[in-house]
Amino acid sequence: MGEGEDRFAAYERDPGVRFGFYLRPSYAMSRDQAELHALLRRQFGDLTITAGAFMPHATLKGFFRSDAAVGDMIAALDAALAGQQPFTVVNNGPVAYGRSSVVINIQQDEFGETNPSIQRLHEVSFAALEPFVHPECNFTPVEWAGPTFFAHLTLLQSLPRPEFFDELFAFIREAEPIGPRRFLAEYVHLYAFRSDDWTGDWGRTLTWEMLHSWKLGG
């Protein structure tokens, strides 16, 4: 991995850093999601900048501020992920979140029931990371977690002008199918993020670095 204390130290005890723990989609899913991010940006401009500022991912533990050592987070996740196996994710297509976001719903399995593997992966990783969350974290208190967790792959995020939402949602639906109907979830990643404005329009200046990767069942 080439990990070193120096690389992690750059993110530690810095109030301008947030961390996130994500499921990485398969190649085919990743390619289609990234292509749509790029096309939305090309066709509609900076209105759509936020989703593509991220790598393709499904959030397991969303943005959190922490003063903990990155090595301690990795150790906690090592323990939490032991015994977690790769599993099949079902792509249920794009759905709207209000009038600002569009996501691919991957919360349910083939039968419309909550996918127990992704729900469990969320719960064990959330429980492992929660003790590291800074008391003044501005994201974790409003996060959809536990029973309100909803696994998704974001296509459009935080559209600043809701009057364009219906057109963008229709454009995205024209792109269907976006990615394969099913893919194997095998890898999870810990990231560090920086933004110039964590309480405002953070997507415009978002940058990130992968800190660690785990292969499920590996």
Partner 1 sequence: MAGPAPAVDSGDPRVRFGLYLRPSYAMARAVAAMHELMRRQFGQTRAGMYMPHATIGFFQSNAPWQELAAAVAPALAGRPPVVVQNHGPIAMGRSVVLDIHHDDDGSVNAALQALHDATHAALSPLIADDLADRFRWPPEMFQAHITLAQTIRPDWLRDEILAFAREAEPVGPRRFTAAYVHLYSVLSDDWDADDWSDSLRWDLLASWRLG
User: Between the CA atoms of 119, 52, 6 and 3, what dihedral angle is there, to the nearest 10 degrees?
Assistant: 60
Stretch that binds partner 1, among 4-12, 16-24, 35-43, 54-62 (CB under 8 A): 35-43
Burial, 177: exposed, middle or buried (Cβ in 10 Å; 0-12, 13-18, 19+)? exposed
Residue type, 87: F
Note if the bond before 177 is cis, omega within 30 degrees: yes
Contact region for partner 1 (CB under 8 A) — 70-78, 143-151, 166-174, 183-191?
Answer: 166-174
Quick one: 134 or 204, whose CB is closer to partner 1?
Answer: 204
* Residue 95 binds partner 1 (CB under 8 A): no
Is residue 174 at the binding interface for partner 1, with CB under 8 A as the rule? yes
Q: Which residues pair with 108 in a beta bridge?
A: 114
Residues 111 to 150 in contact with partner 1, rule: CB under 8 A:
none
Enumerate the H helices of the chain as residue ranges.
5-9, 27-44, 49-53, 70-81, 116-129, 165-174
Among the listed ranges 52-60, 111-119, 136-144, 156-164, the one in contact with partner 1 (CB under 8 A) is 156-164
Residue 55 DSSP one-character state: P
Counting residues that bind partner 1 (by CB under 8 A) gives 23
The reply on whether position 44 binds partner 1 by CB under 8 A is: yes
Tokens 């590996």 identify what position? Answer: 218
Residue 45 backbone phi and psi in degrees, to 5: 80, -155
Residue closer to partner 1 by CB (options 35, 123) is: 35
Site string for partner 1, 50-89 (x = CB under 8 A): ----------------------------------------
Rule CB under 8 A: which residues touch partner 1? 35, 38-39, 42-47, 100, 158, 160-164, 166-167, 171, 174-175, 200-201
